[in-house]
Amino acid sequence: MLYSMTGFGKAVAELPGKKITVEIKSLNSKQIDIAARVPSSLRSVELEMRNYVAASLERGKVDLTVYVENVAGDASVRLNRPALAAYKEDVESVARELGIDNPQDWYSVLMRFPDIMKSDNVTEADDAEIDGVREALSKAVESLMSYRRAEGEKLESFFSARIERIRALLEMVPQYEEERVAKIRVRMEEGLAKIHGVDYDRSRLEQELFFYIEKLDVNEEKQRLSQHLNYFIETLNGPKGQGKKLGFISQEMGREINTLGSKSNHADMQKLVVQMKDVLEQIKEQVLNVM
């Protein structure tokens, strides 16, 4: 079964006086790459959270955000004005450098940055809060993996349709092979006929023609490509985490298709090869999204 590397998950844990929200999203990446935004009170368990996410998601560019809201009306908690000012200045600087507009709603943008709330009584998170974070993180990861699996099912259908399309094109190749051999023979004989006053051994011509046609034989390429197509489908139905293997298989498919094209020596066969390459490029592009 396939899992996409694209996904989103969110979970909330309610505690007396506090609300913990964990959001996690992922995009495709060759390795696991985690960017975490965690309140300072939870720094002691940030490494634990990173390790849990890395072990659960395996691959992908991951954004992990943890919010802890005080819902008990604690007057000691207030906006961190210096941090807000610094964030706003940084965003404006980036906007100038990139030539883009500033946000229309500054409040919604700035409130998403970490440590925009501060308390006069800064303390480390207690055991109950840490347990709440662990629970929310577990549920958020589970939600993201469900999202990834749903996207993976779409990819399975996509790949299956494209593999069958390449297989159908491959099955059309034999109809041109006999005609291709005949054209090669005629072309060689016409070339010899244009050379006046030269006698040649007919049996030797047949022998040279045989060697030439043998070099252009594509049976091995057809057989290997067919095997790669079968292996690709077999891998689709295997365990999760097959993205890299599917990438390697698609590369091998490309080699056989390229060799088939270089040996074809026939316009209609080359058209089939071009269509195969087009479908294969679609496969390669989407394989990058597979976990």
Domain coverage including residue 228: 151-287
Domain boundary among 131, 150, 169: 150
pLDDT, tens digit, for every residue of 206-262?
676 666 666 777 889 999 999 999 999 999 988 887 899 999 999 999 999 999 988
Residue 189 lies in a domain: yes
pLDDT digits (tens, 9 = 90+) for 115-147: 776 665 556 778 889 999 999 999 999 999 999
Q: Residues 28, 115: one domain?
A: yes
Domain shared by 34 and 158, yes or no: no
Residues 6+ apart with CB under 8 A from 287: 243, 246, 247, 250
- Judge whether 58 lies within some domain: yes
- What are the residue ranges of helices labelled H in 73-194? 81-98, 106-110, 127-171, 174-193
- Indicate if 91 and 174 belong to the same structural domain: no
Give, in order, the Cα–Cα distances in Å from 182 to each of 77, 190, 191. Answer: 87, 12, 14
- Please indicate, yes or no, whether residues 170 and 139 belong to a single structural domain of this protein: no
**Is 1's pLDDT higher than 70?**
yes
Cα 223–Cα 226–Cα 229 angle in degrees, nearest 5: 155
Domain-located, residue 41? yes
What is the pTM for the complete model shown? 0.72
Position 6 confidence tier, pLDDT thresholds 50, 70, 90: very high
Q: What is the dihedral of CA 239, 243, 244, 245, to 10 degrees?
A: 50
- Does 138 lie in the same domain as 168? no
Boundary-marking domain end, from 150, 179, 210: 150
Report how far residue 151's alpha carbon sits from residue 153's, in angstroms, rounded to the nearest whole number: 5
Residue 1 included in any domain: no
Which pLDDT tens digit goes with each residue over 167-183? 999 999 988 877 777 77
Tell me: do 20 and 145 sit in the same domain: yes
Residue 181 within any structural domain of the chain: yes
